[in-house]
A and B are shown apart, each in its own frame.
Chain A
Amino acid sequence: MAEKTVEKASLSERISKFREAGLLLFIIILSVIVQFRNGSFLTIENLNDMITNTAILSILAIGMMLVIITRGIDLSIGATLALAGMISALTVGAYPNLNPIWAVGLGILIGLGCGAVLGLIIAKAGVLPIIATLGMMYIFRGLTFMVSGGKWVSAHQMPASFKEIATGSFLGINHLILIAVVMYLIFYYFLNHTRTGRQIYAVGSNPESAKISGIPHDRIIWLVYTLMGGLSGLAGVLWVSKFASAQGDTATGYELTVIAACVLGGVNIAGGSGKISGIILGSVLLGILNNALPLINVSPFWQMGIQGSIILLAVILNALVKRGVDLNALMRRKI
């Protein structure tokens, strides 16, 4: 997108270049306003709390970004998360002496399995992502209820070592934050410095030419949904460990929040573009909103409406900026 011979950059082009900076500025302004209204916002405890709460969201946002880059969407992640969380919670409930690492591994494995099935349906059978993920959402959600028999797994059924996964800390930093940071580093490297990572972008920006240039289109699509499933499985274990309860309806509707984080972070819903740095900021912005609105006495019943409006505005703004950039490019070509 970056032109090398820019003579007169239009406003929208400037916005599109400094999208991350703009988002960061918006976050800072928001924080300052909230801080003025309520002094307990920018305290170490609250910030730590907020970032910990954002960690799971941002892990899921990585996977959702991959999916959206390939022009897809995944509505089943809330259900995958619940299924993986439930099965690992039941497992540690039955074998309390199990090393928590195995619980995490089991969760990721279940997530990968769910994602692989979903990916096969989308890549091989050519089913629209929205329809396939809606259907699988039903199935995963139903399976969650079935394996648990409709019961909850509550805190006293889980060994302390399992709850430690999310609440413990290493060198004074919460495990959740560490895991999220590690995930970000891995996926940053994967997306920007490996061949497969670049192929994901290629498939998203132009599936036809990607196919013609020999990129295994179907395999990339399958990979993306499998990775999304694996990340949801990881997030499921972390979620259950953090809230110390596994329920059949865990994270219902959470996929919308994850999509919101991606859209706010500048991931183009039409595919082909999206950055790790963007979705970190998007997730943080949503985290701040969720944390700050109650602090400045906004009724919790307003949150949903506000969140929805912000998503819509972000999407429309993205579209308008893109329009401006395209128009500018077109004008330059004519001259």
Chain B
Amino acid sequence: MEDLNKKKFSLTSFFLQWEWMLVILFILVNIVNINLSPYYFTFGGLRDATMTFLDKAFIVFPMVLIMILRDIDISVASIVALASVLMGYLYSLGVPMELAVVICLATGALCGFINGLLIVKFKELSAVIVTLSTMIIYRGIAYIILEDQSVGSFPEWFGFFGWGYFYGIPFILIAFVILAVVFSLLLHQTTFGRRIYAIGNNPTATRFSGVQVDKMKLIVFTLAGLMSAVTALFLTSRMGSTRPNVATGYELDVIAMVVLGGISTAGGKGRMLGAVIAVFLIGFLRYGLGLINMPAQVLMIIIGLLLVIAVMVPNLKPKAKAKTKASKSPSHQAAG
């Protein structure tokens, strides 16, 4: 596998990578933002801006794995809501916060495990429809628990997740970077990661070569649930309270980031680095446009367009290549 993929290193193909496109886009966004608002390019501002958009970014890591597996999980936002609401509710009942946090993480993992189990046990059902129904169920449970109430006034130390600094760097940024490194290593340096690519490229062949595809899927979906619970921790901490309709639409943001990060929706392709750049790209775009009071709806349109264009570009490319090949080969024959 390794030997087959190792091509001759060429400068053009190195710079033609999707990640460089993202870096250029990222720089463009920043230049535009700097010109739009004099308040944009300050260290403190940019540093604190990361606190506002990084919470949902934790779900991006497992979503990359899931989409490389050719699946999708649209229940993640509902898992965030359920984990967060359950944690808040238990705390309001007098459960110590430390225990509530553990239960929050366990709930997330359990929800993800259930998703994975349903997908593995009912192979004829696509992940879309399974996670669509669990998405309604999980948020439905959150509504059953809290109805239209909200809970809050968490202990002081809990605020550290969302607002804390560690040597002048936001804690959430540190956590994000550490997890980014962990997930990159997992995907790019371990057998586990290579197997995920293999499953995404050809699930049947991978199963016949002795990889336990079902077990891998279970693990990845459970990870998605767990990371959704991590998001719930940071989000709840930053907001200081929680309600059942929290994190609405996060699944779209996360999928937009992953797709923009160059992870192919056909499975088997993409790298963690691209998704991480896309997180900051969308985050800073949102922060900069927020500074100049751009309405949130315009931003919705921009993100929607980015998402659609990002998926269309790689799909259009192979066709163009095939065309040039087809047009070349007859002339080649004629010449021969």
Contact = CB atoms under 8 A, between A and B. Distances in A.
B307 interface: yes
A256 to B, nearest CB: 6
Contact of B147 (A248, A299, A309): A299
Given A307-B140, A315-B125, A315-B129, A142 B298 contact: yes
A131 B299 CA distance: 18
Contact of B72 (A130, A150, A269, A309): A130
A101 interface: no
A189 interface: no
Contact of A308 (B122, B133, B301, B316): B133
Interface stretch (B34-42, B203-211, B252-260): B252-260
Contact of B136 (A128, A142, A248, A308): A308
Interface stretch (A105-113, A119-127, A191-199, A285-293): A119-127
**Chain A CB within 10 Å — which of B265, B297, B298, B303 has the most?**
B297
B300 interface: yes
A279 to B, nearest CB: 16
A270 B316 CA distance: 26
B143 A305 contact: yes
A309 B137 contact: yes
Given A127-B311, A127-B315, A130-B72, A312 B134 contact: yes
A153 interface: no
Given A125-B312, A131-B311, A309-B137, A263 B124 contact: no
Interface in A41-72: none
B297 A145 contact: yes
A116 interface: no
B252 A308 contact: no
B308 A127 contact: yes
Interface residues of A, number: 45
B295 interface: yes
Contact of B265 (A127, A303, A319, A322): A127
A170 interface: no
B212 interface: no
Q: B-side binding surface: helix, strand, loop or mixed? A: helix
B259 to A, nearest CB: 6
A137 B300 CA distance: 9
B304 interface: yes
B147 A319 contact: no
B252 A138 contact: yes
Contacts of B56: none
Contacts of B312: 121, 125, 127
B150 interface: no
Chain A interface main SS type? helix
Nearest to A322: B124
Interface in B165-205: none
A9 interface: no
A307 B308 contact: no
A128 B311 contact: yes
Interface in A115-156: 121, 125-128, 130-132, 134-139, 141-146, 150
Contact of A302 (B122, B144, B255, B259): B144
A21 interface: no
Nearest to A121: B308
B139 A304 contact: yes
Given A308-B134, A316-B122, A139 B305 contact: yes
B147 A131 contact: no
A203 interface: no
B117 to A, nearest CB: 12
Contact of B300 (A142, A269, A307, A312): A142
B99 to A, nearest CB: 25
A71 B66 CA distance: 20
Contacts of B3: none
B148 interface: yes
Nearest to B304: A138
A165 interface: no
Interface in A290-335: 299, 301-309, 311-312, 315-316, 319, 322-323
Contacts of B308: 121, 127, 131-132, 135-136, 139
B315 A135 contact: no
Interface string B95-137: 0000000000000000000000010001011101110111111
A145 B140 contact: no
B304 A139 contact: yes
A132 B311 contact: yes
B49 interface: no
B144 A305 contact: yes
Interface in B298-332: 298-301, 303-305, 307-308, 311-312, 315-316
A145 to B, nearest CB: 4
A304 B295 CA distance: 31
Find the residue from B138, B252, B266, B300 having the highest chain A CB count within 10 A: B300
B219 interface: no
Interface in A200-231: none
Contacts of A299: 144, 147
B216 interface: no
B265 A136 contact: no
A77 interface: no
Given A125-B312, A136-B308, A142 B124 contact: no
B265 A311 contact: no
Contact of B316 (A125, A135, A304, A322): A125
Nearest to B143: A301
B29 interface: no
A204 to B, nearest CB: 14
Interface centre among A143, A263, A301, A308 (most CB of B within 10 A): A308
A312 B124 contact: no
Q: List 7 tightest A-B contacts by C-beta distance, closest first.
A: A305-B140, A138-B304, A308-B136, A304-B140, A145-B297, A308-B137, A142-B301
Given A121-B312, A316-B122, 5 more contacts: A128-B265, A135-B307, A142-B301, A150-B295, A269-B126
14 contacts: A73-B129, A125-B315, A130-B72, A132-B311, A138-B304, A139-B304, A141-B300, A259-B129, A269-B126, A270-B125, A299-B144, A305-B140, A308-B134, A319-B125
